[in-house]
A and B are shown apart, each in its own frame.
Chain A
Amino acid sequence: MAIDSKLVERIAKLSRISLTESEIKNLSSELDNILNWIEQLSELDTEGINPVFSSFDEEETKYRNDEINDGGYREDIISNAPLSEDGFFLVPKVVD
């Protein structure tokens, strides 16, 4: 499927990245190239194959007790915020 500038704009919106006209133009052809190359996977018959999302052995993943075992780092957590006040992250107004 061909990637055109309209589709690039839609993906950019979903990615929350604003693009300039020239970026849209470049990305259209680059993504089109890359996705055409990826398309070769369709020649493989994967019928009946179970997908593998991680190579980690799930049996090794242990449940832990659902209890608080850490915390109290409010100052640390907001220390890198571009804007904060009274221990809160500040963002532009969200609701009117």
Chain B
Amino acid sequence: MTEFSTLSIKETISSLKNKDFSVSELVDSHISSMESGRELNAFITETADIARKKALDCNQNYLKGEEKPLEGIPLGIKDMFCTKGVKTTASSKMLENFIPPYESTVTQNLWNDGAILLGKLNNDEFAMGSSNETSFFGEVKNPWKNTKDNFTVPGGSSGGSAASVAAGMGLASLGTDTGGSIRQPASFTGTVGLKPTYGRCSRWGIIAFASSLDQAGPITRTVKDCALLLNSICSYDSKDSTSSQKKIPDFEKSTDESIKGMKIGIPKEYETDGISEDIAEYLEKGKEWLKESGAEIVEISLPHIKYALPCYYIIAPAEASSNLARYDGVKFTHRVDAENIIDMYEETRSQGFGDEVKRRIMIGTYVLSSGYYDAYYLKAQKVRAMISRDFKEVFSKVDAIYGPSTPSTAFELGDKKKDPLEMYLNDVFTVPVNLAGLPAMSVPVGLDKENLPVGMQLIGNSFDEESILSIASCIEKSAKFDLNPNRWWINE
């Protein structure tokens, strides 16, 4: 039955229209992929019953010729999005039993377009991590093993979102990206992942991590599928005051546009910063592909980019420490009883949060505390202004930026778990984009010597997702990447 799970959304929709198979058959196939892939630990909550029930309505809509743009498409949703009546945990013990009484705007947009919820996906706790190893519900395994036959991480924080798509459990998924949490796992799993411009998608109903950086975005098998989902999730929302009213273009159309004459910048800082040999090779190969398609390659410089990571590790924890203050044992399911209210707060938070979350709350509290605010928090926001200015200057000369998504391919489970700082350094190429609020995506280009996927990153100007989708589509055609890991998790 797994042949259904390697189709793109585009192909699936045309088959459904042709009546080659029904939505129920499609959904059953993905449920069985999800069930036979439990060893990957990508799903926290499976919603097979909801999916089967909705499939019946979708069947009818196809029969009546009243199908909506994503009618019957089974999707996994990162467990950071509130789904009405379906447990939403943020992969934390703190929200182990939390059942949202409302639906996030972006998921509601998907359901309005006919998509079907297949299940809720594992992630790093409160989206804090780059390997999916900080989840209270356990690590996620990358469908791609290395040549030594060792397990690798799927990346994070949207590790379940990326692993499920690579393994054919759901046709696509939704992730969130605060510092690279869509693009890094997409690059580790050979999938396409896009973080839209800050403000393109509503943040309403997404469990908040760092509100000035968080954005929702799709993880898909193909660039066109990515555009299809983007068309659905983007909308102005009066419930999010940082949601944009700018016109939303037809992103699918962008994937067919030529890139002839486009100027694509390569930051010299991205070519020297300790990337692996294989990634450096693909970076060069990519330049050739882009030139063959008629684009002009321009060397550029982002002089303050090396400060992006330390800057991010002030701003993101600061915002997190404030956002996570709400988990106090009063409102959200988890409470440790104590004699007085202060002990109740402290014990609830001590037992409800994992180590990484505590670490970041502590950093955030420290940099915001009296006497340190100017030296850390205010300083970081000034550095952020300088980084944004670097990008602004570059985008007066080029249409998009091309570079690696990550310094290395997927590392082995447990490899970087002991040293938090080493883990943070993995986000060196993705974090600057969030600070500047720009759109960016990772597109798979091939496998390295260890048989692990390599992803390249495209960064666009503010509210110009279209250019990076056109370029990504072009890279996809040249790279001919085959998203087909050896299915070791299926016991035949």
Contact = CB atoms under 8 A, between A and B. Distances in A.
Q: State whether these chains interact.
A: yes
User: What are the 6 closest A-B residue pairs judged by CB atoms, nearest first?
Assistant: A55-B437, A51-B381, A76-B101, A82-B335, A46-B382, A18-B346
Given A17-B349, A41-B380, A80-B99, A34 B330 contact: no
Interface in A51-81: 51-57, 60-62, 64, 73, 76-77, 79-81
User: Majority SS of interface residues in chain A?
Assistant: loop
Interface residues of A, number: 50
A16 B337 CA distance: 15
Nearest to A8: B362
B62 interface: no
A17 B339 contact: no
A89 B97 CA distance: 17
Interface stretch (B157-165, B308-316, B408-416, B478-486): B308-316
A56 B329 contact: no
Given A51-B385, A76-B102, A61 B311 contact: no
Contact of B198 (A42, A56, A80): A56
A4 interface: no
Contact of B333 (A11, A16, A64, A82): A82
Given A11-B365, A55-B438, 8 more contacts: A15-B349, A37-B310, A51-B378, A51-B384, A53-B212, A57-B199, A80-B331, A92-B337
Contacts of A35: 363, 366
User: Majority SS of interface residues in chain B?
Assistant: helix
Nearest to B377: A51
A92 B339 contact: yes
A60 B379 contact: no
Contacts of B323: none
A38 B313 contact: yes
A11 B379 contact: no
Interface stretch (B128-136, B237-245, B286-294): B237-245
A33 B421 contact: yes
B339 A16 contact: no
B382 A50 contact: yes
Contacts of A19: 350, 358
A40 B310 CA distance: 8
Given A19-B350, A56-B437, A60-B199, A41 B363 contact: no
Given A50-B385, A60-B245, A73 B101 contact: yes
B383 interface: yes
Given A14-B365, A17-B353, A51-B378, A91 B341 contact: yes
